[in-house]
Amino acid sequence: MSKALTQVLTGSTDTDSDAAMQPYPGEVPAEGISLVNLTKKYGGIPVVDDVNLAIKPGEFMTFLGPSGSGKTTTLSMIAGFTDVTSGDLKIHGNPVKDVPANKRGIGMVFQNYALFPHMSVHANVEFPLRVRKIAKSERNSMIRDALAMVHMEEYADRFPAELSGGQQQRVALARALVYRPSVLLMDEPLGALDKKLRDWLQSEIKRVHREVGATFVYVTHDQEEALSMSDRIAVFNNGKIEQVGTGVELYEKPETLFVGTFLGESTVFYGTHAGTTSTGTVIDVAGTHLHTTSELKETKLALLLRPEKLFLSATDSATTSAVNEVTVSVKSATYLGAAWRYVVELPDGTSALVRTENNAGIPEVGQPALLRWNVESGVLLRDER
pLDDT at res. 112 = 81
CATH top-level class of 3-252 = alpha beta
Helix axes 195-212, 136-149, angle to 10 degrees: 130
What is the C-alpha separation between 230 and 220, in angstroms, rounded? 11
> Does residue 375 contact residue 293 with C-beta atoms inside 8 Å?
yes
Question: pTM higher than 0.95, yes or no?
Answer: no
Give the Cβ contact number of residue 15 at 10 Å: 9
> Does residue 285 contact residue 269 with C-beta atoms inside 8 Å?
yes
Which positions ≥6 away from 167 have C-beta within 8 Å? 152, 155
Mean pLDDT of 320-343: 89
| Burial class of residue 111 in the structure, from the number of CB atoms within 10 Å of its CB (0-12 exposed, 13-18 middle, 19+ buried) | middle
> Does residue 381 contact residue 296 with C-beta atoms inside 8 Å?
yes
Q: Which of the residue ranges 198-207, 240-249, 319-328 would you say has the lowest mean pLDDT?
A: 319-328
Looking at every residue in the chain, the average pLDDT score rounds to: 88
pLDDT at res. 14 = 42
Report CA 283 to chain centroid distance, whole Å: 32
User: Which tens digits make up the pLDDT trace of 280-297?
Assistant: 999 999 889 999 999 998
| Burial class of residue 385 in the structure, from the number of CB atoms within 10 Å of its CB (0-12 exposed, 13-18 middle, 19+ buried) | exposed
pLDDT above 80 for 113: no
pLDDT above 80 for 2: no
User: Which tens digits make up the pLDDT trace of 21-55?
Assistant: 333 445 666 789 999 999 999 999 999 999 999 99
CA 108, 109, 110, 115 torsion-angle sign: positive
- Residue 138 phi/psi, 5-degree rounding, is -75, -35
- Residues 79-99 as b or e (16 or more Cβ within 10 Å = b): bbbbebbebebbbbeeebeee
User: Which tens digits make up the pLDDT trace of 98-112?
Assistant: 999 888 888 889 878
Q: What CATH topology corresponds to 265-382?
A: OB fold (Dihydrolipoamide Acetyltransferase, E2P) (2.40.50)
> Does residue 187 contact residue 72 with C-beta atoms inside 8 Å?
yes
- Backbone torsion region of residue 286, taken as left when φ is above 0, otherwise alpha when ψ lies between -120 and 50, otherwise beta: left
> Does residue 220 contact residue 199 with C-beta atoms inside 8 Å?
no
pLDDT-derived band of residue 3, with 50, 70 and 90 as boundaries?
very low
Q: Which of the residue ranges 10-14, 60-64, 257-261 would you say has the lowest mean pLDDT?
A: 10-14
Name the residue ranges covered by the structural domains of the chain: 3-252, 265-382
User: Residue 198 corresponds to which amino acid?
Assistant: R
Q: Which of 10-19, 229-238, 318-327 has the highest mean pLDDT?
A: 229-238
> Does residue 294 contact residue 380 with C-beta atoms inside 8 Å?
yes
Higher local confidence (pLDDT), 12 or 15:
12
User: Residue 278 corresponds to which amino acid?
Assistant: S
